[in-house]
Amino acid sequence: MSSPLDATTRRLALRVWADWVRPYRWRVAVALVLMGAVALATGAYPLVIDWTFDALAAGDAGWIMLVPPVIVAVTAVRGGLLYAQTVATAWVVNRVVADLQAGLHRHLLSADLAQIQAEATGTLAARFTVDAEAFRNALNRTVTGSVRDSLTVVSLLASMLWLDWLLTLIVLCVYPVAAIPIVRIGTRLRRTAKGLQAGYGGLTAQLQEGLAGARMVKAYRLEDHQAARARAAFDGLRRQSMKAVRIRGALEPMLDVIGGVAVAAVIAFAAWRIGSGTGSVGDFTGFVGALLIAAQPVRALGSLNAALQEGLAAAERLYAVLDRPATIVDRPGATPLGRATGAIAFEGVTFAYRPGLPVLRGLDLAIAPGETVALVGRSGGGKSTILNLLVRLHDVDGGRITVDGRDLRDATIASLRDNLAVVGQDAVLFDDTVAANIAFGRPGATRGEIEAAARAAAAHDFVMALPQGYDTPVGEAGGRLSGGQRQRLAIARAFLRDAPILLLDEATSALDAESEQAVQEALARLATGRTTLVIAHRLSTVRAADRICVVEDGRVIEEGTHAALLARGGRYADLHAIQFAG
């Protein structure tokens, strides 16, 4: 049997305190003082009750007249303190959870691409919702329960000891018995909570996947299949949730029974005293009142371990993400690259996404400043990997990549990426305005600079035709714009960035002929005076490149101009013949 304060729990609790709660320790202190005041006010109730019955028994009319205003005063003071304590505690808890969510988001933004892609987006999103909410509830219950309820019980015990120390000892012999099953239930609940939270993450990922692929689902009539998958996931969550309910639901009846045993023991002992003539009913009224008032905080403390274990399960899942170290980081001694001239060299580069399955095998490629080089070849040959390595989304396994003669790993990542502009097949737009999406290329750019970039990308005219011009929201993923419009905004972003190295990854492959022509003209203007690396499957889009490199099996197998490669009759000529047959 593990204790609710076992080594793992203590380490996790101390870490949560050090990482997230400690910065707000003074606010925590205020909340604790308020909790203590609430506990003292609660402990005053049974004393007032006892004094009242004593006054009634003695016929003290003066004290009896004071009882109503005293009760109102005690109630009002406790109510005001309780409100202040609730607000103070909620401020700390919500601030801590917001900081945790922001820290988790920041960590994911700086994490290695491979780490992010290893988990479904919906599963990661559940960390910010399901896990964070479980952590919030546990933190709120823990702070309130472990302090306010504990202090309230202590205050009431003090009142009970003042009223009758022997009856208090009887009560103290009964309640500790509850600790054993409470700990067992908490341990089981922690395991169940981890499974339930993982289930919510999986379900979120599945629903997101199904809705994102709605077009394909409808086209292939997969509605019934997707509905069955979702129903199975819903049923799995229902079973996990019911398991947690059954475990959690056992606590309240157990605590009620133990509370009933305590009350019964007190009444039996009191009855014996009254029967033997050593006590009266009035002697026990305040004590029984204190015992009944203590029932609620004792019940809360009994269920505290369950809430704590659910929160710890959430904290473990959150820290599982936060503790993944990034491997793509600045090495010690890395210095800023400065504005590059654009000379790029791949020297014997090897790389594998998975051990034993190499993608690049001793790749050698040199690109001169201002040169436009196109990478072509069959899918899976390593073309996109070359771009990913240049951006340092991954690091090479062997060999090196240099820019202006400097190994990429000797330069800071920020300075390297400041020298790069990327335009991909899918223009990544955020649910913000047109101007904001262009400005991501250079945060802080003026409206005039944004519009100049849009004009260079042949985007200004269609932007001005939008309902709010540059202030028009583009919708989620740019859904309110056509493919060609989204791509021209991505090009405008690259113009605004004004980087010396331009990376184009299938930038026109998803466009119709008319849009492709407009985008190609904008790309040609963008590439002028920059070192440009182009990936393309449609060979018609790279004829004008200074050099075309055919990449297969992780190597450059032939290179030259379009005309020279056709004349050679090698692999490029074969690809060209296949694409333009007939």
**Which among 482, 511, 477, 432 has a CA at the least distance from the CA of 211?**
477
CATH H-level, domain 7-322: superfamily: ABC transporter type 1, transmembrane domain (1.20.1560.10)
Contact between 479 and 467 under an 8 Å Cβ cutoff? The reply is no
Type and span of the H or E element at 296? helix 281-322
Neighbours of 150 (CB within 10 A): 17
Q: Is a pLDDT exceeding 70 seen at residue 529?
A: yes
Q: Is a pLDDT exceeding 70 seen at residue 277?
A: no
Task: Give the per-residue pLDDT at 184.
Answer: 62
Task: Give the per-residue pLDDT at 547.
Answer: 92
Backbone angles phi, psi at 373, to 5 degrees: -120, 130
pLDDT digits (tens, 9 = 90+) for 300-327: 666 666 667 777 777 888 888 888 888 8
Q: How confident is the model at residue 2 (pLDDT cuts 50, 70, 90)?
A: very low
Query: Is residue 398 classed as helix, strand or coil in its secondary structure?
Result: strand
CATH H-level, domain 344-579: superfamily: P-loop containing nucleotide triphosphate hydrolases (3.40.50.300)
Report the pLDDT averaged over residues 219-243.
66
Q: Which comes out higher in pLDDT, residue 341 or 506?
A: 341
Instruction: Give the separation between CA 453 and CA 471, rounded to whole angstroms.
Output: 15
Give this prediction's pTM: 0.69
Q: How confident is the model at residue 426 (pLDDT cuts 50, 70, 90)?
A: confident
The pair of structure tokens assigned to 62 is: 């003066």
Report the pLDDT averaged over residues 62-75.
71
From residue 275, alpha-carbon distances to 58, 84, 285, 379 in Å are 21, 46, 16, 95
Instruction: Give the separation between CA 47 and CA 79, rounded to whole angstroms.
Output: 18
Share of the chain above pLDDT 70, in %: 68
Instruction: Give the separation between CA 98 and CA 551, rounded to whole angstroms.
Output: 47
Instruction: Give the separation between CA 276 and CA 54, rounded to whole angstroms.
Output: 21
Strands, sheet with 398-403, edge to edge from the N-terminal-most edge strand = 357-367, 344-354, 398-403, 406-407
Q: How far is CA 536 from the centre of its chain?
A: 35
Write down the mean pLDDT value for the chain: 77
Q: Is a pLDDT exceeding 50 seen at residue 1?
A: no
Report the pLDDT averaged over residues 415-441.
85
Q: How far is CA 117 from the centre of its chain?
A: 14
Report the pLDDT averaged over residues 467-485.
83
pLDDT digits (tens, 9 = 90+) for 125-136: 777 777 788 788
Q: Is a pLDDT exceeding 70 seen at residue 470?
A: yes
Top-confidence range, 140-154, 235-249, 290-304, 473-487: 473-487
Domain ranges (residues) in the chain: 7-322, 344-579
- Could you give the residue ranges of the DSSP H alpha helices within 164-222? 165-174, 179-212, 214-219
Q: Is a pLDDT exceeding 50 seen at residue 205?
A: yes
Instruction: Give the separation between CA 224 and CA 230, rounded to whole angstroms.
Output: 10
Task: Give the per-residue pLDDT at 406.
Answer: 93
- Could you give the residue ranges of the DSSP H alpha helices within 111-178? 113-117, 121-126, 132-143, 150-163, 165-174
Top-confidence range, 11-25, 221-235, 352-366, 495-509: 352-366
Who's near 524: CB < 8 A, 6+ residues apart?
544
Q: Is a pLDDT exceeding 70 seen at residue 480?
A: yes
pLDDT digits (tens, 9 = 90+) for 348-403: 999 998 888 889 999 999 999 999 999 998 888 888 899 989 999 889 999 999 99
Q: Is a pLDDT exceeding 90 seen at residue 167?
A: no
Least confident of 1-15, 178-192, 530-544, 559-573: 178-192
- The C-alpha angle 64, 65, 70, rounded to 5 degrees, equals 90
Task: Give the per-residue pLDDT at 187.
Answer: 60
